[in-house]
Amino acid sequence: MKAVIQRVKQARVTVDKQEAASVSEGFLVLFAVHRNDEKADIDYMVNKILNLRIFEDENHKANLSVRDIEGEILLVPQFTLISSTRKGNRPSFTDAADYEKAKAFSELFFQEMKMHFNSVKYGVFRAYMQVSLVNDGPFTIIIDSLDRQSPRRQA
């Protein structure tokens, strides 16, 4: 899985001019499912996102998680994150999960997030969405579950 986490003051998703979901202070998480993802990838992402310390504490240091600030999370499926532009100028999406797997893993990701954090909302799977946000900072982090398999660098 791959996710782009944006610290936001607010974010919302609309589909066909109707609001599908919105949050106030917290995270907007754009995410995609890779064709080789397993349940362990979801677990890794849930843990990383919920414990990511990018909100400021009283000393203005990025030291607090979305849990600490009692923020909200808006999850938005976006398969285009799993693209390759290595060859040519038209992105390739062959590494993205097929429809059935992407839908199942997206729903499972949402359910797992909700099990560990109360204030989670979800965009609309495979819909043409308009996403609006007020980025806070801006502060944007990219997490790839493939990183869980990489050994940590030695100092």
| Catalytic residue IDs | 78-80
Tokens for 111?
Answer: 């359910």
3-state secondary structure 11-28: EEEEECCEEEEEECCEEE
| 103 close to 126: Cβ distance less than 8 angstroms | yes
| 81 close to 33: Cβ distance less than 8 angstroms | no
**Are β-strands 130-144 and 2-15 bridged in parallel, bridged antiparallel, or unpaired?**
antiparallel
